[in-house]
């Protein structure tokens, strides 16, 4: 392999990107609507 | 191998920066939720003696359930005990800031109110307190969600959220489920 | 630098014994787990009473969380110590004594549970108090593991003395990192047991401080999951690249990963107490921030292992951005298990991020989401690698050649399928409000009735897992009926790095610096949260025995 592993980078970035997106979706559409607590 | 050690280190550092960036986004969102939306874990740290809480003070039987104080604060006090909640049903108004306070004389319990972010452990020695505002009316399930012994499966209460107009305290400021 | 063939001397029988004991406990616990899922479902299950159910949950948790991992890690550790260092284990009699101690402890705890005198669950939250033999049994298992920790540290120290200036082979470095971390980890539960729970069980104390016991237990409760997962990461870093036909992308990143786990797995336990009233938001938030840091080594691993696999895939002719994935030798069980593990890691990691998210924990705490999460991330991602590790080392350990690789692959696929089918609906049920540790649900209630079908789906997943578990044990037994003998030495098991280091800095070859850092972080993160219980006489709760004869 001549250069850095672009495929692994792309796969990891995709996976972590999906992870973050799912977290934000839950945060915005499930968690916040359930209301203020403290 | 054609790839140099420096190139490997650089690629790992680049990825580490991304990983830390992702984690930072999450931390910032949590800080935002805490400060702006006032969503924080229930961390009351208020000590109470479990062995005597039924004898006097706030958690005597007569004082349990929902009560509106003179200054309009709505507070519901519940005792969790093996294997029931006292009272088993509480009434609270919708769209108004309310406070729930829990204590136990025996072992560890916990509650959640279904469909909401109301969730707390109930630890002998401490008063658990949750402030919230219910936005929807209806009967919400409030089970005991922490193992407290063999009767745990059956331990459950009901939180009835009523529209503000139907929330009528009596002369002592109390509102009970059977009054409906 | 790994040589061609390693002799396996003492480890052969030690590893064989430890892994079999752990896997037998695992098999029994699987059966209990399926029965528990059945009990919770709308389908009537036999033998269900609250006593049998909660005793079963205690046994299942104790076997899966304590017995299986401890015995697997000890057995695998002895194997790694001999094969990666190329020398016989020091003091094998101590290793066998530890085995005997661990077995005695496990049996003591198990018999006590099955006599119905320890229905306190594997988290044994006081003031619920079981028969003292339950706790003593667990203490013996932990004591056995401590002997193992010392043996691992001695083995590494002796090798370093005989090989001055050379980097400790990564597999052993990681094993000892795990041993060091485990010693730190067990302090919490040991203190809770020795100073609070066992005196209560013996009748010497009638009251105890529950805030303190929960806090001490939380010290152990998160770090233990890193103890569980490090063998799987050892397989990712040191065995998988070789099995895939490539090289480890970066040996240094491997060392850093295990060091980061050592440092950050401990000062984070309060994220298990986010809904507790005895700790403040300040310390909860601090430990949430540290938890965010402990996710970093896993994120780093995703890239480093991906890169290692890409090397292998491209060497096999894979082209384009993702073509290397298809080119990988998926017929090899270790490679297949890694792929399946990483898929489950995506889902399980997501669940974990939600759990640790400070106020967001209120959405999921003590719901089925939590149960689903740890079954997926531990039972899925980690345990599937336990199977793969066993398959990989069994030729040398059993002295027989590997039988059908196809049966191994089928078993791994069944485990993956069962785990996904069991846990994905279970996460959803948690969000709907299904709560934990319930023997039977009241399906007459319309809200709960709506959950019924999903609970049945989860049960089906559990049955698939049981089938996979049985197949796993059969696969191991298959080695015994093989006629072809294995030379009893390990072939090319460990991977080489792309750039094998000739030397590494002392910080990446030992743990003195990191132990200091752990101490500092623990004082910072846990100092006040524990010390507060010794100020101003916190109220004590009455001990509540569960072992009265009925």
How much of chain C, in percent, has pLDDT values that exceed 90? 91
Residues B166 and B137 in one domain: yes
Residues B172 and B95 in one domain: yes
Residues B25 and B52 in one domain: no
pTM value? 0.96
Label residue C36 by pLDDT band (50, 70, 90). very high
pLDDT at B180: 45
C221-262 confidence digits (pLDDT tens): 999 999 999 999 999 999 999 999 999 999 999 999 999 999
Pairs across B and C, CB distance < 8 A: 203
Residues B104 and B63 in one domain: yes
pLDDT at A2: 57
- Residue C335 CA, chain-centre distance (Å), reads 20
Is C309 at the interface with chain A, CB within 8 A?
yes
Mean pLDDT of C37-43: 97
pLDDT at B89: 96
Residues B19 and B73 in one domain: no
Is the predicted pLDDT of residue C474 greater than 70, yes or no?
yes
Query: Considering only CB atoms, which chain A residues are within 8 Å of C315?
Result: 1
Residue with tokens 């519901």: B76
Pairs across A and B, CB distance < 8 A: 69
Q: How far is C507 from chain A (nearest CA, A)?
A: 27
C538-548 confidence digits (pLDDT tens): 999 999 999 87
C183-231 confidence digits (pLDDT tens): 999 999 999 999 999 999 999 999 999 999 999 999 999 999 999 999 9
Task: Quote ipTM for the complex.
Answer: 0.94
Q: How many other CB atoms sit within 10 Å of the CB of residue C118?
A: 31
Domains of chain C: 6-480+487-545 (1.20.210.10)
Residues B11 and B71 in one domain: no
Does B51 contact C367 at a Cβ distance shorter than 8 Å?
Answer: no
Q: How far is C301 from chain A (nearest CA, A)?
A: 10
Chains within contact range of chain A (3+ C-beta pairs < 8 Å)? B, C
Chain A (4-33) residues lying within 8 Å, Cβ to Cβ, of chain B: 4-5, 9, 12-13, 16, 19-20, 23-24, 27, 31-32
Query: Considering only CB atoms, which chain C residues are within 8 Å of B23?
Result: 292-293, 295-296, 299
Residues B104 and B159 in one domain: yes
Residues in chain C: 550
Residues B89 and B34 in one domain: no
Is B16 at the interface with chain A, CB within 8 A?
no
Cβ pair C276, C522 in contact under 8 A:
no
How much of chain C, in percent, has pLDDT values that exceed 70? 97
Is the predicted pLDDT of residue C433 greater than 70, yes or no?
yes
Contacts of B103 (CB under 8 A, 6+ apart): B48, B50, B53, B58, B59, B77, B79, B80, B122, B126, B127, B128
Structure tokens at C9: 């001397």
C478-506 confidence digits (pLDDT tens): 998 877 666 655 567 899 999 999 999 99
Residues of C belonging to the active site: 222, 226, 373-375, 436-437
The domain in which residue B14 lies consists of 1-40
Residues B112 and B157 in one domain: yes
Does C350 contact A23 at a Cβ distance shorter than 8 Å?
Answer: yes
Which of B5-9, C95-99, C133-137, C376-380 is the least confident region?
B5-9
pLDDT at C8: 76
Residues of chain B with pLDDT under 70: 1, 179-180
Distances (CA, A) of C435 to B42, B147, C363, C426: 19, 10, 11, 11
Chain C (274-303) residues lying within 8 Å, Cβ to Cβ, of chain A: 299, 302-303
Residues B63 and B138 in one domain: yes
Q: How far is A33 from chain C (nearest CA, A)?
A: 11
For residue B104, what is the domain's CATH number? 2.60.40.420
Residues B80 and B139 in one domain: yes
Residues B131 and B171 in one domain: yes
Task: Please tell me the total count of domains within chain B.
Answer: 2
Residue with tokens 């392999």: A1
Is B95 at the interface with chain A, CB within 8 A?
no
Which of A5, A12, A19 is closest, CB to CB, to C350? A19
Q: How far is A36 from chain B (nearest CA, A)?
A: 5
């Amino acid at each position: 392999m001549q250069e850095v592993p672009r495929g692994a980078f792309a796969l990891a970035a995709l996976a972590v990107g999906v992870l973050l997106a799912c977290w934000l979706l839950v945060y915005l559409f499930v968690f916040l609507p359930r209301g203020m607590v403290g | 191998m054609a790839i140099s050690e420096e190139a490997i280190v650089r690629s790992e550092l680049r990825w580490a920066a991304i990983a830390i960036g992702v984690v930072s986004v999450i931390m910032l969102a949590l800080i935002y939720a805490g400060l702006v939306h006032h969503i924080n874990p229930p961390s009351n740290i208020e000590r109470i003696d479990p062995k005597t809480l039924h004898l006097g003070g706030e958690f005597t039987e007569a004082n349990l359930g929902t009560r509106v104080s003179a200054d309009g604060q709505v507070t519901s006090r519940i005792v969790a005990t093996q294997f029931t909640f006292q009272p088993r049903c509480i009434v609270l108004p919708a769209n108004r800031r309310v406070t729930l306070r829990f204590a136990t004389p025996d072992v560890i319990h916990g509650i959640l109110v279904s469909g909401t972010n109301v969730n707390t452990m109930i630890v002998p020695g401490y008063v658990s307190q949750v402030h919230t505002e219910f936005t929807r009316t209806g009967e919400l399930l409030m089970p005991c969600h922490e193992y407290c012994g063999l009767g745990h499966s059956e331990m459950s209460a009901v939180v009835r959220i009523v529209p503000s107009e139907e929330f009528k305290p009596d002369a002592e400021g109390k509102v009970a489920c059977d009054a409906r | 630098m790994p040589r061609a063939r390693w002799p396996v001397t003492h480890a052969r029988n030690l590893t064989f014994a430890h892994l079999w004991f752990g896997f037998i406990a695992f098999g029994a616990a699987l059966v209990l787990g399926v029965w528990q899922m059945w009990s919770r479902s709308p389908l009537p299950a036999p033998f269900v009473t609250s006593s049998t159910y909660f005793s079963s949950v205690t046994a299942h948790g104790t076997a899966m969380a304590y017995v299986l991992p401890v015995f697997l890690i000890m057995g695998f550790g002895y194997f790694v110590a001999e094969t990666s260092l190329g020398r016989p284990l020091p003091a094998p009699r101590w290793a066998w004594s530890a085995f005997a101690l661990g077995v005695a402890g496990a049996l003591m705890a198990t018999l006590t549970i099955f006599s119905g005198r320890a229905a306190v669950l594997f988290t044994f939250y006081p003031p619920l108090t079981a028969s003292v033999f339950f706790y003593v049994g667990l203490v013996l298992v932990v004591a056995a593991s401590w002997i193992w920790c010392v043996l691992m540290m001695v083995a590494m120290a002796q090798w370093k003395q005989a090989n001055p200036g050379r980097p400790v082979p990564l597999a052993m470095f990681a094993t000892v990192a795990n041993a060091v971390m485990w010693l730190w980890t067990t302090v919490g539960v040991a203190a809770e047991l020795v100073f609070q729970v066992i005196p209560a069980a013996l009748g010497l104390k009638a009251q105890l401080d529950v805030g303190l016991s929960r806090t001490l237990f939380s010290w152990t409760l998160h770090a233990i999951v890193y103890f569980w997962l490090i063998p799987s990461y050892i397989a990712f870093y040191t065995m998988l690249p070789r099995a895939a036909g490539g090289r480890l992308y970066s040996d240094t990143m491997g060392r850093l990963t295990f060091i980061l786990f050592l440092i950050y797995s401990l000062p984070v336990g309060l994220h298990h107490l986010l809904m507790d009233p005895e700790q403040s938001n300040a310390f909860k938030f601090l430990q949430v921030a540290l938890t965010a840091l402990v996710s970093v080594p896993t994120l780093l691993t995703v890239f480093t292992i991906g890169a290692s696999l890409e090397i292998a895939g491209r060497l096999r002719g894979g082209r384009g951005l993702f073509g290397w994935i298809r080119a990988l030798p998926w017929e090899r069980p270790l490679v297949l298990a890694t792929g399946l593990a990483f898929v489950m890691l995506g889902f399980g990691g997501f669940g974990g991020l939600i759990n640790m998210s400070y106020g967001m924990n209120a959405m999921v705490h003590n719901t089925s989401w939590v149960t689903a999460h740890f079954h997926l991330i531990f039972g899925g991602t980690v345990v599937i690698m336990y199977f793969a590790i066993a398959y990989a080392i069994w030729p040398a350990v059993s002295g027989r050649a590997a039988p059908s690789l196809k049966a191994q692959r089928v078993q791994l696929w069944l485990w993956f399928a069962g785990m996904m089918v069991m846990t994905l609906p279970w996460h959803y049920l948690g969000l709907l409000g299904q709560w934990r540790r319930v023997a039977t649900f009241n399906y007459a209630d319309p809200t709960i009735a709506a959950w019924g079908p999903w609970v049945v789906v989860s049960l089906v997943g559990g049955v698939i897992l049981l089938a996979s578990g049985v197949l796993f044990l059969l696969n191991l037994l298959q080695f015994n009926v093989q006629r072809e003998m294995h030379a009893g030495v390990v072939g090319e098991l460990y991977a080489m790095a792309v750039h094998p280091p000739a030397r590494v800095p002392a910080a990446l070859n030992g743990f003195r610096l990191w132990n200091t850092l752990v101490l500092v972080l623990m004082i910072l993160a846990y100092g006040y949260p524990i010390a507060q219980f010794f100020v101003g006489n916190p109220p004590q709760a009455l001990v509540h025995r569960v072992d009265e004869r009925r």
